[in-house]
Chain A
Amino acid sequence: MTQETISTDVVIIGAGPCGLFAVFELGLLDMKCHLIDILDKPGGQCAELYPEKPIYDIPALPVVSGQELTERLMEQAEPFGPQYHYNEMVEELEKLEDGRFRVKTDGGLVFEAKVIVIAAGGGSFQPKKPPIPGIEAYEGKSVFYSVKRMENFRNKKVLISGGGDSALDWTINLQPIAESMQLIHRRDGFRAAPDSVNKMHALVEEKKMQFHLGQIVELHGDNGQLTGVTAKGNDGNNYEIECDTLLPFFGLTMKLGPIANWGINLHENLIPVDTEKFQTSEPGIFAIGDINTYPGKLKLILSGFHEAALMSQAAVRHAYPDAKVTFQYTTSSTSLQKKLGVA
């Protein structure tokens, strides 16, 4: 796939609260930003882990949900025209001869930027793998953690494991084209839309699929091709399930991922930075929010906001060493107010 290279001032890796606020702080200094996130939406952990949970320690917002905080940060960043690229994981980051950086994503997007801001929280969200011995040998051949093309599952004996929306949705969607459909879950309760749960029960009633209570403990097959699994029932007894395809849906977890290969110093899966510029061991690459570490670091959203502000001052000087940067307040500066579209 050939893609046109996108040139910009800043590529921000991660569209969580810190990445979003960095757009604002960088924007006040006339830096244009592109944000890349592995999720299909902005907000990072706030959106993926706890959209409904109240947060109580954002200054001036006595209580706010992760979802609302995300929406407000998006609104605040909007005057600066940030470009969002969702469902993309940054795979490669390399330094160019002219001092800029080239970023490549798994979806084939290519960026060239003067400055990189890593605001990746706990790393990239990736599917949780069930702890079944030897499952790696089947991955990509007969065990899949997502459905990219439904057609791949036509005439397959599909077993789905899990009790959330993904598990239920794919059970219902793949059942008509699969040769057989079975669902296994550790209890008879689901964290899914009630309508989906009802549909699944109806399919079981009509004998179009089977539902098992229990957990998979062993996989059987050869050369990556599954032939069946052993499951442990809630009564402690084991039983066999015949299948040639397994789709485990256990939600997402955060892994450092490709960041480890970018040649910047790491300490226990975190990126050490200085507390003046929040710069990494590579000049021009900055790290803010949960992913960085420094003496006294607190993993708080408000700390990330502060880091974004200081980082931006350093980032603009890195990108435009000859430009004169004056510090101004949004309350009094007409030029900042023009940028915000309020003057």
Chain B
Amino acid sequence: MRIILLDGKGREHELEAVEGWRVMEIIRDYGFPIVADCGGACACGTCQVEVDPAWAAKLHEPREDELDMLDQNYGGEWSRLSCQLIMTAELDGLRVRLSDIAIREAA
């Protein structure tokens, strides 16, 4: 199971994913710039990613608290909080891009 992550410079990285893990945890484990201040509680918005539009429909709809956090963090059309995306077999190969917000907050 894997995630394809595009970093701030647009470079592609293949990350080994684990079923049941949050995408945020996987990206952070690899040392990419995600601070996740709140530890995955959907409360800080620093783990924002942009999901490849081709994958967006495979994800569950964001809950109200995730929408709130995207509001506060300048979310765009394809933005999600990676702490709210949990890896399943269906998401094997998920393509996401680190958001400018995540990179800025981790700087």
Q: Judge whether A130 is part of the interface by a CB distance below 8 angstroms.
A: yes
Restricting to B59-90, which residues have a CB under 8 Å from any CB of A? 64, 67-68, 70-77
* Minimal beta-carbon separation of A245 from chain B (angstroms): 20
* Contact yes or no, B72 A50, CB < 8 A: no
| Contact (Cβ within 8 A) B71 A186 | yes
Tell me the smallest distance from the CB of B64 to a CB of chain A, in Å. Answer: 8
* Inter-chain contact A253/B44, CB cutoff 8 Å: yes
Which stretch (B1-9, B11-19, B20-28, B33-41) binds chain A? B33-41
Q: From B77, which residue of chain A is reached at the shortest CB distance?
A: A234
Contact check, B71 vs A131: say whether CB atoms are below 8 A apart: no
Please pick, from A50, A122, A130, the residue contacting B74 in the complex, using a CB distance under 8 A. Answer: A130
Given contacts A164-B71, A250-B73, contact A131 B43 (CB under 8 A): no
A185 touches B39 (CB 8 A): no
- Against B, the Cβ 8 Å flags (1 = close, 0 = not) of A156-189 are 0000001110000000000000000000011101
> Does A191 interact with chain B (Cβ within 8 Å)?
yes
Residues of chain B within 8 A of A253, CB atoms compared? 37, 44, 46, 105
In the complex, which residues of chain A have a beta carbon less than 8 angstroms from the beta carbon of B70? 186
Which residues of A pack against B, CB within 8 Å?
A: 45, 49-50, 53, 122, 128, 130-131, 162-164, 185-187, 189, 191, 215, 234, 250-251, 253-254, 299
Instruction: Identify 20 residue pairs between A and B in the complex whose beta-carbon atoms are under 8 Å apart, listed by A's number.
Output: A45-B38, A49-B37, A49-B38, A49-B41, A49-B43, A50-B43, A128-B73, A130-B74, A131-B100, A162-B72, A163-B68, A186-B74, A189-B64, A215-B74, A250-B71, A251-B45, A253-B46, A253-B105, A254-B44, A299-B39
Cβ B43 vs Cβ A53 within 8 A: yes
Instruction: Knowing A128-B73, A131-B100, A131-B104, say if A187 contacts B41 (CB, 8 Å).
Output: no
B56 contacts the other chain (CB 8 A): no
Q: What CA separation (Å) do A163 and B101 show in the bound complex?
A: 18
Q: Interface on chain B toward A: helix, strand, loop, or mixed SS?
A: loop
Residues of A within 8 A of B74 (CB): 130-131, 186, 215, 250
Residue in B closest to A167 when the chains form the complex, CB atoms: B71
Binding site for A on B (CB under 8 A): 37-39, 41, 43-46, 64, 67-68, 70-77, 100-101, 104-105
**Complex-state Cα separation, A53 to B68, whole angstroms:** 15
Q: Which residues of A contact B75 (CB under 8 A)?
A: 186
Instruction: Identify which of A49, A53, A163 contacts B71 (C-beta below 8 A).
Output: A163
Q: CB-CB < 8 A to A163: which residues of B? A: 68, 71
Task: For A234, give the chain B residue with the smallest CB separation.
Answer: B77
Residues of B within 8 A of A251 (CB): 45, 72
A164 touches B41 (CB 8 A): no
Q: Whole-angstrom distance between the alpha carbons of A130 and B77 in the complex?
A: 16
Residue of A nearest to B101 (CB): A131
Kindly list chain B residues whose C-beta atoms are within 8 Å of the C-beta of A53. 41, 43
Contact check, A50 vs B38: say whether CB atoms are below 8 A apart.
yes
Of listed B43, B46, B67, B100, residue having the most chain A CB within 10 A: B43
* Nearest-neighbor residue (CB-CB) of A215 within chain B: B74
* Nearest Cβ on chain A to B68's Cβ, whole angstroms: 4
A215 to chain B, nearest CB (A): 7
Most buried by A among B41, B64, B70: B41
Closest chain B residue to A251, Cβ basis? B72
A192, chain B: closest CB distance, angstroms: 10
Q: How far is the CB of A254 from the nearest CB of chain B, in Å? A: 6
A residues near B43, Cβ cutoff 8 Å: 49-50, 53
In the complex, are the beta carbons of A191 and B104 less than 8 A apart? no
Rounded to whole angstroms, the CA-CA distance of A186 and B78 in the bound complex is 13
Alpha-carbon distance between A53 and B63 when the two chains are bound, in angstroms = 15
A49: chain B residues within 8 A (beta carbon): 37-38, 41, 43-44
